[in-house]
Amino acid sequence: GESVGLHLPTLSVQEGDNSIINCAYSNSASDYFIWYKQESGKGPQFIIDIRSNMDKRQGQRVTVLLNKTVKHLSLQIAATQPGDSAVYFCAEKETSYDKVIFGPGTSLSVIP
C-alpha cells in the first residue's frame, strides 16, 4: 500500500565540526551495510561500506560504526565541509539475496 509521506530528518552542522548521521536497520539477517550520498538532482553515490563481521571501518574523512546488538549504523564525517551538504542513506543487504534495501535518509546541511 501507499506509505504516509514523511519528510526527511535534517541535521545542521557548522562547517569544520564533525557530523554523525544515524541509521536503524530492521533485518537481523542483514550482513552488509552501505552508506550513500545523494546530492540534489542526482543519483546516490557510494561512500563507504561495512560487513557484519566488523564494528568499524574508516575511509577518507568518514567512519562507519556498526552495532549489531541494537541494529544501529552510524556515519561520522570529520571536519564537515559545505560540499558534504546532501541527503545520506544507509542500505542493508543479506548475503543470501541480492535485494538491497535503503533506509529513509537524513538531510545534512552545512552552515558556512
Partner 1 sequence: NAGVTQTPKFQVLKTGQSMTLQCAQDMNHNSMYWYRQDPGMGLRLIYYSASEGTTDKGEVPNGYNVSRLNKREFSLRLESAAPSQTSVYFCASKEQSRRRGNTIYFGEGSWLTVV
In the bound state with partner 1, the residue whose beta carbon lies nearer, of 43 and 112, is 43
**Nearest distance in Å: CB 16, partner 1:** 28
Give me the residues that bind partner 1 (CB under 8 A), please.
2-3, 5-8, 32, 34, 36, 41-46, 49, 51, 89, 91, 93, 97-105
Cα–Cα distance between 40 and 86 in angstroms, integer? 7
Q: What DSSP letter does each residue of 4-46 carry, written as one string?
A: P--PPPEEEEETTS-EEEEEE---TT--EEEEEEE-TTS--EE
| Closest C-alpha among 25, 21, 3 to residue 12 | 21
Q: Give CA–CA dist 52/72, Å, rounded.
A: 11
Looking at the Cβ atoms of 81 and 97, the one nearer to partner 1 is: 97
CB of 49 to partner 1, least distance (A): 5
Task: Supply the minimum distance, in Å, between the C-beta of residue 46 and partner 1.
Answer: 5
Q: How far is the CB of 76 from partner 1 (least distance, A)?
A: 20
In the bound state with partner 1, the residue whose beta carbon lies nearer, of 80 and 93, is 93
Cβ proximity to partner 1, 20 vs 100, nearer residue: 100
Task: Measure the CA dihedral 83/86/92/95, to 10°.
Answer: -40
